Structure 1
Amino acid sequence: MEAQVQMGINIPIQRNGYLGQTSRAVEELLKIGLVDSPLWNRNVEGGGETLHFEEYGKAFLPCLGRKPRGFVSDATRASSVVPMSSSTLVEALLDANQWREMFTSVIGSCSTIEVISNGNEGSRDGALQLMNAEIQLISPLVPVRVFKFIRSAKQQAEGLWVVADLSVDDGLEGNLTRRCPSGCILRDIPNGFSMVTWIEHVEYKEQSVSHHYRQLIRSGVRFGAQRWIGALLRHYEGLSAATSPTLHPDLYEDMKISLNRLARRMIGIFCAGVCLTGGQKWESVVDAPGRPRIMARKCISGFGEAFGIVMSATYSVWIPANYQHLYGLLLTKDLRSLWDVIYHRIATENMIDFPMSEDESNPNCISILHSNTYTKDNQIMVLQETTSDMTGSLIVYATVVSQTVSMVIRGEDTSSVALLPSELSIVPGYGEGGAGAPSGKRGSMVTIGYQILHQGIASSDLTLEAIKSINDMVTRTVLGIKEIARAARQ
């Protein structure tokens, strides 16, 4: 075991305190990233590894000082090969827009508050910047994690980089989370690829989290390193699939790129609606325990949005079924009418299937589904993306018209296309007691999200009928999913 490393007690907010603190964070990250037993234990919940806190405490003093009262810790590590060089990844991580694009479903918003240093002598070695971010889990029952942190980049050797984050919040003034040394170690390997080791170490107030999700979050499955690695792989998987000459050769490269970008926008819009992130101004309509949360926001720009009031309804429910098995059942075409209460008559035939890999067992796919359903001037279709890994599964879909599909086929920019996504997010979850959810029993937490356009121009225009209608959609979806799960157990 390494000798004990002396760390500072509390990170100052003044600029001249950043350099020493971040140097220590880089040092800690590098050490815990490259050491195996006894610091790390294999994580049976969602892959990767969890930190052995007793051994960690023997080797390191906390960078952020004593943990605040009522806070708990989770720290995880995961590794994978990524088809990008270490220097390219460092550039992306230091650019807030690229960072968010790489982790669309994880990051609700992020920005660079101040660039303290761009690096040394034309290199990103020594880059230092103050940033903030909203890190989200797709459920109304889990608060968004809001961080203000220092990000530093340090080149340790040729082809070996460390990108380290350290929170500058004290965790005592209304903050529910703070980020201990976290980030990644990037090591070049042959063929322009990198081995990425991600470490996520967070202290948070567990009382703010629903009991259904506490075990999931403690294990690091939903906020931990494995989720970051999974999201990073899906990002580069999509880029590689779009430019691959062998994967779906009947689709032009420009078309695959356009389809991938439209699906990324759809994912971002739906996450913002469920997690209330991204700076959008939502007003509460209904927010009561045990009922769907209904929010509303005004859309008046007309660019990339429908004009009117968007109603968002979200609800998380425990289902007694394995999340991967349930995900497979929900994708069964004959069962779609049970849970998709809006679009099941449209989403009946696959017009375009764009798998993200040549591996047939890979569940990640972007599709355009259609039937013979028309408006006055357009055929109505459904854009859908499905993804699944060890940390959870996602089905996101939105209606599009034939004109939009034609734009995609021609490889055109679709950023002006209005989308109102609906979704199902399925993750491992535990019952908290009571009828239908025995305490501690393993199953799935399913989050249902609908976004519906109301033609009024103010939240006060919303009628009781509109609220009841979207409530009923959520209720019917929940009943349909429960029926599918119940039939599978028989």
Structure 2
Amino acid sequence: MEGSGKFNLVCESSEGNANQRATEEARETGYGTNEILEVASSDEQEIHLGSSSSSRRRQKHRHTRDQIQELEKFFKANPHPDERERLEIGRKLNLDANQVKFWFQNKRTHMKTQTDRHDNIILKQENENLRLENIAMKEALRNTICKKCGGPTFQVDRSTVEQNLMIENARLKEELSRITRVIRQLSGKPSSSLPSPLPHGPANPNNIAMESLAVPASRSEIGAAAGGINIPEKPSRYLELASSAMDELMKLGQVNAPLWNRNMETGGETLNFNEYVRSFPPLLGTKPLRFISEASRATGVVSLRSVDLVESLLNADRWREMFTGMIGSCATMEVISEGIGGSRNGVLQLMQAEIQLISPSVSARAMKFIRYSRQQAEGVWAVVDLSVDADRREGIMCRRLPSGCILQDLSNGFSKVTWVEHTEYDERPVHHQYRRLLSSGLGFGAQKWICALLRHCEWLKAVSSPTANYQLDQATRTCLKGLARRMVNIFCAGVCLTGGQRWNLVSNAPRIMTRRSMNGPGPGEPSGTILSATSSVWIPTTHRHLFDLLLNKDMRCMWDVLCHGNATQNVAHFPMSHDDSNPNSISLLSSDTSTEQNPIMVLQETASDMTGSLIVYAPVDLSTISVLMNNGDTSSVALLPSGLYIVPGSGDELGAPGGERGSMVTVGFQMLLQDLVMPSLITADTISTVNDLVSRTELGIKEIVGSARQGG
């Protein structure tokens, strides 16, 4: 297209301007242009010796590593030091003023060149996206049909349509220029540092529609001209926000340093908030008072195609299933846009969800947000979330800034997933023992979502694997997995108080809650009053080591007070991975006290990754086992699960000497009080029994760790 060609000329022109600036700076410093542009890390310089104008000898000077590190620190604080500051830096680093001056000039030129190249890449990608949308819009205009008779519509004079588009496009360009000027003034950036939102050049009827699509407000109007409907004011605002959020997500997913810093503790990446504020306008306005920011990025390769992942993310039930344990509840409130041509490209939904960390010390994050999907290129998709109406809700605890994933198809049905998670939240309700976990990104961050997605893909593969590799056939494995998933969701709802259940607080430390099962969200609950008891405790060992100790069948009787001090053994075992070192599995356990007249069976699911470890189990009867083995419907099976959730935690938050590495362990129980009609009438003896149950479990865990240390 002609517009594409002109757009490329703009990109080349920006590169030429960067080279011209480098040349002018080279004249001022005495460097050759190539010498300045080819500096890669600002660790080398050439110092002129002698005063001859005909020939100058250059001696290469290589700074030491310490000098480079100190210079980098000074540059971050002030990239334009004056003469006095350069002299002071030179004295500290044993360098003369010219060396310091040349280093800063080279560093500034190198940063400008990197920024210009990145802007050119973004502009080329946006140009390609606009070209594809333009083609789709032309096709829609060409194939419009009459809604009343189903026949083709009367052809409108193309010159009239083009003239109207030109007028509308000019108005939109003027409005966009005004908004861009305001943004630049607020961000304090010069015009040259921000990419041009639209290709320049004279208007051309062939690319008028493409240029109009660059402004979100014009999409609804052109859609109406193509046989669509007029979009109301609020959904139109959502479309604008979605488009801006998608652009921000793509840049966050593609740009590296200095926008992102490697987190050496977790292996992921955390956002440089100072650089973020300079690079992006605030889509949701200023950060609320006393809120803190949490942002992380992580990458993984999963065994699903990008289009299948997009389909699951746009379906609330499949999204919750994909991230079992992380999502307490979710629903699609409204479908604002159904996509282009029946595809998932351009789908925009209004959703709500409860995102949870399995602990009574961290409140679930309830959010209302828009979710927008867009195909960036062949085999490349992106899905972005953004909180909406957060400032209108009383008692709002958090809001989600542009977050989501970029999906790129690889060979053999795999996809590369780049996940970005960015949230602002009120830290005050979070217990101090969990604050470091949340700030590191392991609580709600990108690595948490990537690990859960990898685990889900492993489970899908395990369920569909040939029956020769497992004790159970495929249908039984599917049935068993469905029951275990419901067990985990019930356990998490009891700990996190999510899923719409109404609980009554009985006591704290441990926290004891009750509710009537008739108020539950669905079938499969016992009749009576359900009691939930939860508590968290710090244990001086790593979460994975503790997880391995708890799975030792010979030590289970030390912490599982429900097995009455008896050992257990596996009756059926369903591993969720082909890797023998992977502990993710579902098991049916039998106690040594089981008899034909009084069988004691336990359904258990275990899962572990770098962000935490989970053990959930519930007693089941023979009829349930029979339903499982015959691939029956398990939705009516009543479950009262108990379990443990373990996350990394440091002892320095509790005053432990030397900040000893450890774990935060959440213990949770659910039990049935059949004779209790009113949940508020629970007796003191019952409370005492529950307190003893929790304390004996915590004491048993500590004894296991102590025995392991003495044995080691």
TM-score by length of 2: 0.65
Indicate if the aligned counterparts of 1:336 and 1:344 stay in contact, CA closer than 8 A. Answer: no
Choose which of 530, 536, 558 in structure 2 pairs with 1:310. 530
Matched residue SS, 1:207: coil
- Residues 367-422 of structure 1: CA deviation (Å, up to 9, x unaligned): 11003545896622011111111001011111111221122122222111111110
Matched residue SS, 2:574: strand
Choose which of 411, 418, 443 in structure 1 pairs with 2:662. 443
1:262 matches 2:483: yes
Task: Show the counterpart of 2:517.
Answer: 299
1:485 matches 2:705: yes
Code of the aligned partner of 1:88: D
Task: Show the counterpart of 2:451.
Answer: 230
Choose which of 220, 241, 250 in structure 1 pairs with 2:462. 241
Shift of 1:136: 0.4
Matches within 5 A, 1:10-409: 14-171=234-391, 173-245=394-466, 248-287=469-508, 291-300=509-518, 303-343=523-563, 348-373=568-593, 379-409=599-629
1:458 matches 2:458: no
Code of the aligned partner of 1:297: R
Evaluate the alpha carbon distance shift between residue 228 and residue 247 of structure 1 in structure 2; reply closer, same or farther with a 3 A threshold: farther
Larger radius of gyration: 2
Evaluate the alpha carbon distance shift between residue 345 and residue 441 of structure 1 in structure 2; reply closer, same or farther with a 3 A threshold: closer
Report the Cα distance in structure 1 between the residues aligned to 2:517 and 2:658, rounded to whole angstroms: 42
Code of the aligned partner of 2:510: P
Report the Cα distance in structure 2 between the residues aligned to 1:466 and 1:375, rounded to whole angstroms: 29
Report the Cα distance in structure 1 between the residues aligned to 2:299 and 2:654, rounded to whole angstroms: 39
Q: Unaligned stretches of 5+ in structure 1?
A: none
Evaluate the alpha carbon distance shift between residue 37 and residue 344 of structure 1 in structure 2; reply closer, same or farther with a 3 A threshold: farther
Shift of 1:54: 2.4
Indicate if the aligned counterparts of 2:560 and 2:697 stay in contact, CA closer than 8 A. Answer: yes
Greater relative contact order structure (CA < 8 Å, 6+ sep): 1
Matched residue SS, 2:418: strand
Code of the aligned partner of 1:451: Q
- Residues 441-487 of structure 1: CA deviation (Å, up to 9, x unaligned): 43110000000110123213422222211111001011111112222
Report the Cα distance in structure 2 between the residues aligned to 1:123 and 1:381, rounded to whole angstroms: 47
Matched residue SS, 1:14: helix
After the TM superposition, which of the residue ranges 363-372 and 46-55 deviates more from structure 2? 46-55
Matched residue SS, 1:91: helix
Matches within 5 A, 1:421-436: 421-431=641-651
Matched residue SS, 2:495: helix
Shift of 1:347: 6.0
* Higher strand residue share: 1
Report the Cα distance in structure 2 between the residues aligned to 1:465 and 1:439, rounded to whole angstroms: 41
Matched residue SS, 2:561: coil
Matched residue SS, 1:334: coil
Matched residue SS, 1:379: coil
- Residues 154-198 of structure 1: CA deviation (Å, up to 9, x unaligned): 111111111000011445742111100001111111222221111
After the TM superposition, which of the residue ranges 88-97 and 389-398 deviates more from structure 2? 88-97
Q: Unaligned stretches of 5+ in structure 2?
A: 1-114, 124-179, 187-231
Evaluate the alpha carbon distance shift between residue 187 and residue 375 of structure 1 in structure 2; reply closer, same or farther with a 3 A threshold: same
Shift of 1:318: 1.0
Code of the aligned partner of 2:688: K
Report the Cα distance in structure 1 between the residues aligned to 2:664 and 2:323, rounded to whole angstroms: 22
Evaluate the alpha carbon distance shift between residue 376 and residue 324 of structure 1 in structure 2; reply closer, same or farther with a 3 A threshold: closer
Report the Cα distance in structure 2 between the residues aligned to 1:143 and 1:440, rounded to whole angstroms: 25
Shift of 1:303: 3.0
Matched residue SS, 2:562: coil
Indicate if the aligned counterparts of 1:147 and 1:167 stay in contact, CA closer than 8 A. Answer: yes
After the TM superposition, which of the residue ranges 75-84 and 371-380 deviates more from structure 2? 371-380
TM-score by length of 1: 0.93
Shift of 1:109: 0.5
